[in-house]
Chain A
């Protein structure tokens, strides 16, 4: 069918700009898929290779007699290595201005650990690690600009004592420097990790120490079974608790982040390819409708249904292929950049970038599938057209009738004739109007889905850090006396006592690690935003808990649950759910906590919330506060906000790319639908021109009709767009992060405005060409 394929290519050329727009949408969808999927895989592989290189522990046993536990598990089949060590929580001081929560992890003095090893990034491992040598974890080193030879101080029973940086290292346990499974978001200025000898740890004044046995399985060992055995033998030998890689704080945080990313790397391409497919389908349907007479003619002459079907399906396939091949290649390249940016941003020292032919193949497959699926409907429609259409199509313009809009709003019937023409133009060609409307809705959804996510993240984080939390800093203190000292400092506006304790929440069969913050009943440092709307003071009895607990443990207001502090178990009631996006902290009053623990209120206080005078220099205040002897550690609310933003860096980068892609795609879509809408009017315009209607009036009529159509579609578009953003956001949410879509009103306005403006601009070229078209030619071709 040489001539038939010639017709195909010429038809394609006639609709070149629309075809290009479709190819662009497929290109973007496929590129996005390949980029995000490969980046997602690259990140996983990068972590894995670092974990393998540094023998990241497969399971860790905490507590008991470490030697006994180690002996018990060493015999198990499939164990590659076992290390015992002590971990101490102790304050650190850098210069005089910085005090922070610190952790010292024991490493053997003369060799690298066989499990949970470290990678030396700067300096070298001393042949023998003395009690004044430390290895500094890279995030802390970077934050405080610590290099080899620099000094910092650890707290000993006799006061601060200096240690020297021997090397800066990366650790598989602190790729993301999380303090615990729940305290995932800590600023490197507030929490830092050192590696040192056992002798050093023995000498420090620690808040707590624990012994750990870290176990690494051999390659190819049956992970599940071996871990189960390690846990059961280790526990029998005296280990108090255990965790595997899934619950290791750093890995859990990274996996959590990557998981959300992985889901988005699926959902966004689906959205994009869906939009591309829909646009293709709309374009091809319009093509089939406008070629009714041609199809009828071909059928009348004995072309088979199958030939006709194939003829139109090829359009979809070609658009799919033309977009998918370069899209898959571009996506693979983009994946490299994204992976690099991310590992750079969170300081992962090993970046593995792989080229995956399977991703390229899948991308091409998806593009082809989108093209084929979208071509299917129109192709079937074409193949089912009766050959008799050939005779009748030419004369069968739909009869003009009163438009839908006019029937709904009767007063419109009194409009002047040109306005009525505009209204009826919309009703008369329903297919065309629907196609344009669909394009507008899709375009808005593409933009709003990602812009809405960015808005949500920014609004909710700002709300949490600027409205919900009233403190500039939270400090940990040894005794409540320190508070009066803090109050007397210049620049301090308010200080409130507080207690923060790690707890385990037991409800139904759920066991959840969390922390309780206790504050004065009339606290001014925290606003409690309740899930059912409105703010509320702290309850006299019971706790406020994070909303994640409601779905996680299936508890509701008034229900009781068990709170475990160390050895103490308390029955508590849920007094309400706070609507906070981060974490699952529980809140109660200090008197209630003291009563529950059977202690005097002043003795349970271990922290203070501080607010400074307006305009205070935060850095200077930090230095002053940290210098107070009773202050053990300082948590800077602003720095935490920055950390959270940094943790969300991948989110912003990813969603930002989506937004850019979505915007380009939306504009391609709008261009497509609007220009198709106008291109179809050749006959109409020809007739109008032939009847002496001026160009300017023709232009105005068409513009008015399109504008009205776009405005009518904007509303549904914004609604669907909001829903899409909400769906995306919920796929990103977990127990630690929970965000319901919140979109700025200005975002809606800008999106709608951009779409309408681009829509009107898209009219230009086609309209001009139409107006300049040779009336004679249009009229001659009119029968087709």
Chain B
């Protein structure tokens, strides 16, 4: 317990007064209305909220996929809001890993190649690294299969391996179990939990499923574009015990 508290300490990402609006005039949508939030190094944060509450928007802004309309977003001390497109691309390449609800694997590449594609992008690292990561997510025997021949859970684990191969300081997962059945979902969550607990990775999981909050170190609840609640969870549950 103390061990983990030590690990989750400094804020590696901070949002101050972040607003996001889409469109103009009558069609204007205020997706985020002043969000203040710290993401601490080594924690597993669950971002909870009903559909349309702005979770994905928030995640995209932290991940450098979309710019905020106003407010400040600092990650690792740098202000993301002021980056131009090229610098934002660089930021995404080096600083964040993404996992999506729809796994978004490239169908014409095998599981291994999907991971290698990203490994190559960030400079490869040592040979065999992609295999290593795939083994770590439990896919040692399905590496050479194409996505069309993998189950949803397997595809999502490939997606996680793809995000991890970059060694990103921040792993952002948008509804990672949204397309999975309970059992498979649990396994993916267990993987994420162990990545935070055992490897010290910083992970944000976005979900509308409140059951998942149980495995978090901290739970942020959102509603109508604002943070409505922030609760620490001193004793995160094991993913295997979840029910929904």
Min CB distance, A136 to chain B, in Å? 72
The stretch that binds B, out of A6-14, A75-83, A483-491, is A6-14
Q: How many residues of B contact A (CB 8 A)?
A: 41
CB < 8 Å: which of A6, A304, A391 contacts B100? A391
The stretch that binds A, out of B32-40, B41-49, B58-66, is B58-66
Q: Closest B-chain residue to A14, C-beta based?
A: B108
A783 is an interface residue with CB less than 8 A from chain B: yes
Pick the most buried of A14, A302, A391: most chain B CB atoms within 10 A of its CB: A302
B79 is an interface residue with CB less than 8 A from chain A: no
CB < 8 Å: which of B66, B92, B105, B147 contacts A301? B92
Q: Which residues of A contact B101 (CB under 8 A)?
A: 391, 394
CB of B147 within 8 A of CB of A388, answer no
Min CB distance, B163 to chain A, in Å? 8
CA distance A781 to B150 in the complex (A): 10
CB-defined interface of B86-109 with A at 8 Å, one 1/0 digit per residue?
100111111000101111111111
CB of B65 within 8 A of CB of A387, answer yes
CA distance A772 to B147 in the complex (A): 19
With contacts A300-B98, A780-B150 taken as known, whether A6 is within 8 angstroms of B109 at the C-beta atoms is yes
Q: Which residues of B contact A299 (CB under 8 A)?
A: 89, 92
CB-defined interface of B127-156 with A at 8 Å, one 1/0 digit per residue?
000000000000000000001111010010
With contacts A293-B102, A386-B66, A388-B60 taken as known, whether A301 is within 8 angstroms of B108 at the C-beta atoms is no
CB of A388 within 8 A of CB of B109, answer no
Q: Closest B-chain residue to A304, C-beta based?
A: B89
CB-defined interface of A733-758 with B at 8 Å, one 1/0 digit per residue?
00000000000000000000000000
CB < 8 Å: which of B66, B105, B122, B148 contacts A302? B122
Min CB distance, B67 to chain A, in Å? 10
Pick the most buried of B63, B108, B174: most chain A CB atoms within 10 A of its CB: B108
B184 is an interface residue with CB less than 8 A from chain A: no
Min CB distance, B134 to chain A, in Å? 14
CB of B94 within 8 A of CB of A293, answer no
CB of A294 within 8 A of CB of B102, answer no
CB < 8 Å: which of B104, B120, B152, B179 contacts A4? B120
CB-contacts of A272-324 with B (<8 A): 293-294, 296-297, 299-305
The stretch that binds A, out of B110-118, B189-197, B219-227, is B110-118
CA distance A395 to B179 in the complex (A): 12
CA distance A301 to B165 in the complex (A): 11
CB < 8 Å: which of A3, A304, A777 contacts B117? A3
CA distance A781 to B148 in the complex (A): 6
B85 is an interface residue with CB less than 8 A from chain A: yes
CA distance A390 to B59 in the complex (A): 13
CB < 8 Å: which of A11, A302, A391 contacts B93? A302
B26 is an interface residue with CB less than 8 A from chain A: no
CB of A6 within 8 A of CB of B66, answer no
Min CB distance, B120 to chain A, in Å? 6
CA distance A638 to B174 in the complex (A): 83
CB of B66 within 8 A of CB of A784, answer no
CB of A391 within 8 A of CB of B121, answer no
B56 is an interface residue with CB less than 8 A from chain A: yes
A397 is an interface residue with CB less than 8 A from chain B: no
CB of B120 within 8 A of CB of A1, answer yes
A2 is an interface residue with CB less than 8 A from chain B: yes
CA distance A783 to B108 in the complex (A): 13
CB of B100 within 8 A of CB of A390, answer yes
With contacts A11-B108, A391-B60, A394-B102 taken as known, whether A6 is within 8 angstroms of B121 at the C-beta atoms is no
Q: Closest A-chain residue to B122, C-beta based?
A: A302
Min CB distance, B112 to chain A, in Å? 9
CB-contacts of B170-214 with A (<8 A): 174, 179
CB of A302 within 8 A of CB of B106, answer no
Q: Which residues of B contact A11 (CB under 8 A)?
A: 108
CB < 8 Å: which of B65, B116, B122 contacts A300? B65
Q: Which residues of A contact B65 (CB under 8 A)?
A: 300, 386-388, 390-391
Min CB distance, B86 to chain A, in Å? 7
With contacts A300-B98, A783-B103, A784-B107 taken as known, whether A305 is within 8 angstroms of B89 at the C-beta atoms is yes
CA distance A301 to B85 in the complex (A): 13
With contacts A302-B94, A388-B66 taken as known, whether A7 is within 8 angstroms of B109 at the C-beta atoms is yes
CB-contacts of A1-55 with B (<8 A): 1-4, 6-7, 10-11, 14
CA distance A185 to B100 in the complex (A): 76
CA distance A390 to B92 in the complex (A): 14
CA distance A784 to B104 in the complex (A): 6
Q: Which residues of B contact A300 (CB under 8 A)?
A: 63, 65, 92, 98
Min CB distance, B65 to chain A, in Å? 5
Min CB distance, B205 to chain A, in Å? 15
Q: Which residues of A contact B152 (CB under 8 A)?
A: 780
Q: Which residues of A contact B149 (CB under 8 A)?
A: 777, 780
Q: Which residues of A contact B150 (CB under 8 A)?
A: 780
Q: Which residues of B contact A2 (CB under 8 A)?
A: 120
CB of A302 within 8 A of CB of B92, answer yes
CB-contacts of A358-408 with B (<8 A): 386-388, 390-391, 394-395
CB of B66 within 8 A of CB of A4, answer no
Min CB distance, B56 to chain A, in Å? 6
Extra pairs beyond A301-B93, A388-B60, A391-B174 (14, CB < 8 Å): A4-B117, A6-B109, A10-B108, A293-B102, A297-B104, A390-B100, A391-B65, A391-B100, A780-B150, A781-B107, A783-B102, A783-B103, A783-B179, A784-B106
Instruction: List 6 A-B pairs, Cβ < 8 Å.
Output: A1-B120, A391-B56, A780-B148, A780-B149, A783-B102, A783-B103
Interface residues of A (CB under 8 A from B): 1-4, 6-7, 10-11, 14, 293-294, 296-297, 299-305, 386-388, 390-391, 394-395, 777, 780-781, 783-784
| 5 shortest interchain CB distances as A-B pairs | A302-B93, A783-B102, A10-B108, A394-B102, A302-B92
